[in-house]
Chain A
Amino acid sequence: MKKEFKVIADLLPKNIRVLDVGCGDGSLMNLLKKEKNIEVRGLELNQDNVQECIRKGLPVIQGNAETELHQFPDQSFDFVILSQTLQAFYEPEKVLQDLIRIGKSVIVSIPNFGYWKVRTKLLFFGVMPVTKTLPNTWYNTPNLHMCTIKDLFNFCDEKNINIKKVVGVNENKTSLIRKNNLEIKNLFSKVGIFLIG
């Protein structure tokens, strides 16, 4: 089980309604359903993943978050989750605004481009970073809008999006990120998990 999923599960109360955008094979939905009795819904583009969710008895809608979030009514979920896909959208801002419209709260996680190993790859080797969290090379990466934890922090400030909590994840370690430790956490977190809205 990915540490990130565990952190997300811990952020959520029991018995609520959650939409998992880009739900993959349903691992997170399964966890939330079993451990927190959460009523889950998924949105997923990939056919094999959709089939896998259906086989597991998890409700999933095949579709593209970029174009199809409009079908979900305003405030129809307690939480909307977007795990490590924000950077792959053409218009991440539009998607994020849609998530905030649909969910009373939103959890967004990002692979942190500010992580020190990523920075050193570029600084010392002069090549685009390939790491465990960023496994693709520059020519085949789906990531169009890479950002750092600090970037997303600043973005939320700029757009008046309320940040409730930010958690940094590095392997099995997690830590709370605040304004006063942002610089250092931005350097040592592989993944940033934002609770906003």
Chain B
Amino acid sequence: MAITVPRTARRRPPRNTGIQLGLVPSLAFIMPALVLFAVLIMYPMGAALSYSFYGWQGTARDGFVGFANYVTLLTQQPYADQLWRGFSHNLLLFAGAFVFQNSLGLGIALLLHRRQRTKRLFQTMFTLPYLVSPMVIGYLWSLMLSPLFGPVNAILRGVGLESLALPWLGDPALAIWMVVLVSGWQWIGFPILLYGAAIGGIPVELDEAASLDGATALTRLRYITLPMLVPTMGIVTVLTFIGAMEAMAIPFALGGSSGSPAGSTDVMMLLFYRTAFESGNPNSIGVSSALATVLFLFILGISVGITRVMRRAERRLS
């Protein structure tokens, strides 16, 4: 690549002037997308940041208040407590999904790799929940886990585990774990596909050579397959992190917008929603914009951080 690039770069300009687009046609092609993107995404992002530095009376802007909204968010009740509670639940969601994906997801991808005929069938089945709306998944599980008529408890009673037929979503100590499990269940199709593709991309020669040298299956997994999967793990981890931090539909379906029971299924996006649209605070715009900005910077920072760490790990392994 490093050798070919300068050569083509030298040769290209005179050859392509005939079809390369000049400024006016380029802009004409880009303009519709650019206008939509600027008006509906860039402008609101900038505005959200600026909103957080102003005081608000309803929808009327009061005056510049500096970081006062951030101070309110981090120190005043109920925001401060709910922020940490929601944040810890988001972290739990991420941790749960991470464990789920890199154990069961990776394991299934490794097992599927050796299958010829049934691979596509299993991939389709395992990916199905991932494609269904998280709202549908959340409500479906709220019915599944319902204490009296719910199929989960019916199965437990049916096999004689009467004592395990618990009020899964009614008990504050259990409810958040149900959110973690349901989210993990829904997301697992994604790593199965990604890991599957990455394993398929590993040159067979590597495995064969190691095998001829007497490496056991476990050794090959540890020293060939897993190191080659590190970049994919990085991608899966970053996307899972973003998904876990932005989770809203499944907690909303399982516990409503207040994270019931007793705030045990509350997450940051629900707090944002409540602060912006359901709180009586006249300054709700200021505080919720501060929350959005904090969340935004946190997600961005950690995603970049994870990508960096994974890149370094990749370099060390190769």
Co-assembled chains A and B? no
Which residues of B line the A interface, CB within 8 A? none
